[in-house]
A = this chain, B = another copy of it.
Amino acid sequence: MREIDNEDELSRTFGALADPTRRAILAQLAKGEQTVNELAKPFLISLQAISKHLKVLERAGLITRGREAQWRPSRLEVAPLEDATDWIERYREIWRDRFDRLEQEIKRLQAEEADQEGDHRNG
């Protein structure tokens, strides 16, 4: 039996990425630091809504924010994303291994079948 922590870092990272506005904000920040006002410009939503999204990103460790109360420029942090891709990649690897094994099993069965057909012809 496994007990599960519902507020782990990986869940916070994936949760933060589960929103197109937040992903667009991260894409913006990949080009450099920006203030809330700069970040809000391309969107049809309020500054308050952008601030909420920034809080979610900050809690997930995907951004850090400057200290100056008025500007508080946001800067992206890439480490949580690395953990996220690591998780997906590990899982895709298990899946690929499984398919490799299935493929080998199919080849083995095909070889056996070919052998048996040979036996029938020779016998």
Chain A residues with a Cβ under 8 A of chain B: 1-6, 8, 10-15, 17-21, 23-24, 26-27, 30-32, 42-44, 76, 78, 81-82, 84-85, 87-89, 91-92, 94-95, 98
Establish whether residues B98 and A26, one from each chain, have CB atoms under 8 Å apart when the complex forms. Answer: no
Cα-based distance from A92 to B57 in the complex (angstroms): 16
Establish whether residues B98 and A31, one from each chain, have CB atoms under 8 Å apart when the complex forms. Answer: yes
Establish whether residues A17 and B19, one from each chain, have CB atoms under 8 Å apart when the complex forms. Answer: no
Min CB gap A37→B, angstroms: 15
Residues of B within 8 A of A91 (CB): 23, 26-27, 30, 81
Residues of B within 8 A of A27 (CB): 91, 94
The listed residue (B1, B6, B18) touching A42 by CB distance below 8 A is B1
Identity of the chain B residue whose Cβ is nearest the Cβ of A102 in the assembled complex: B32
Given known contacts A2-B42, A42-B2, is B85 in contact with A30 (CB within 8 Å)? no
